[in-house]
Structure 1
Amino acid sequence: MHIPPYHRKPSWQRFLVGTFIGAILSYFIFVYMHGNIVEGLLAENKELDSQITELKKKNETLTKDNENKQSNEPVTVEEIEIEILNREELRLNRLTVLDLVGLIKEEIDHIIGEDISTLAENDRLLKSTIQNKDFQLDDFTYNFSVETLTISRTVKIEVEAEISN
């Protein structure tokens, strides 16, 4: 097999020299653009690192101040968690359970923000508030009996449901 001697024709020589010079120019343009982009990204990275450092210092300071304030203030209730223990026995679906938990939370949501020691003294009142109330949902009336009541920053209440007609 024979390769044709195109390298001797002036038109092919101009084409090859132009391709070579174009490749060199495009390489330098690529290196220049890449350098500018990387430089910009490095500057942005340094800026973000300095902001992160400042925010960490500010967070530490605020956390220390918050701890100092909390040591002087009484501990209060922040959240209420309610669990229905016998939901499988009553065949309650997820939506019904969520609605019932929402109804119970509406009834006792006034305890959020109260002092834990005050709430611990009045735990019987909290239990009777839940047990003496009939909760109407769809066509059923539900009564609850409180099985477990844990009072801390998060009040955890475990109840058993009964359907009354």
Structure 2
Amino acid sequence: MRVPAFYNDKSWQRFFAGMAIGGVISWLLFIYMNGVLQEKQTLLIQEQKDTIQELRGDILIWQEEFKNLNKENIGHLLVQQITVKITNHQKYGLDLLSVHETEEAVLEDLKTLKAKDIETVYKNRDLIKRVIENRSVSLNGKKYRLEVKELVFFTNITIVLHLTLDA
């Protein structure tokens, strides 16, 4: 059995030539399209790298600026609130209204500290302690002295007081 000789037939020659030329054209078209798409992707990646570098530089600038502003602001912090708490009022059986009124009276004495620089207030902490401890309070017919147990300074000054019977 013999394979027919298609190489002599013109229709088969045109068919194979068309396949070869089509293959070459499609390959060239594929390479062109792939090259164009790759070039676009490369350009996009490069733009993104440049943007990232620029934004990282901006972040560093902003971080330095915030660090400088924070350093300035720490030096200028102001007292915003004063909290006074009497902790041992149960020992003497005092009612909560009397304790609250005493706390409010101490707050009234210290209200001038609000909106002052924390550094200045901290430097005068001994004076603040003496103002509170030299105060004699009359509750339920008995005289009590206030004793400062804890004094915390920040934008909120927290003062923890104990009551002692005044002799």
Q: TM-score, normalised by structure 1?
A: 0.53
**How many residues are treated as equivalent by the alignment?**
98
Q: Give me the CA root mean square deviation.
A: 2.3
User: Structure 1 residues 116 and 93 mapped into 2: Cα distance closer, same or farther (>3 Å)?
Assistant: same
- Between the two proteins, what is the percent identity of the paired residues? 22
Deviation at 1:142, TM superposition (A): 2.2
User: Structure 1 residues 138 and 109 mapped into 2: Cα distance closer, same or farther (>3 Å)?
Assistant: farther
**4+ residue runs over 2 A deviation:** 70-73, 135-142
- Contact between 1:103 and 1:135, CA under 8 Å: does it hold in 2? no
- List gaps (5 residues or longer) in structure 2: 1-68
Partner residue in 2 for 1:91: 93
Structure 2 letter corresponding to 1:116: I
Deviation at 1:164, TM superposition (A): 2.4
- List gaps (5 residues or longer) in structure 1: 1-66
- Contact between 1:76 and 1:116, CA under 8 Å: does it hold in 2? yes
Q: Matches of 1:159 and 1:82 in 2, distance apart?
A: 7
Structure 1 letter corresponding to 2:104: G
Partner residue in 2 for 1:81: 83
Deviation at 1:126, TM superposition (A): 0.6
Which of the two has higher C-alpha Rg?
2
Q: TM-score, normalised by structure 2?
A: 0.53
Q: Matches of 2:105 and 2:144 in 1, distance apart?
A: 11
Q: Matches of 1:141 and 1:91 in 2, distance apart?
A: 14
Q: Matches of 2:88 and 2:138 in 1, distance apart?
A: 18
Q: Matches of 1:71 and 1:145 in 2, distance apart?
A: 33
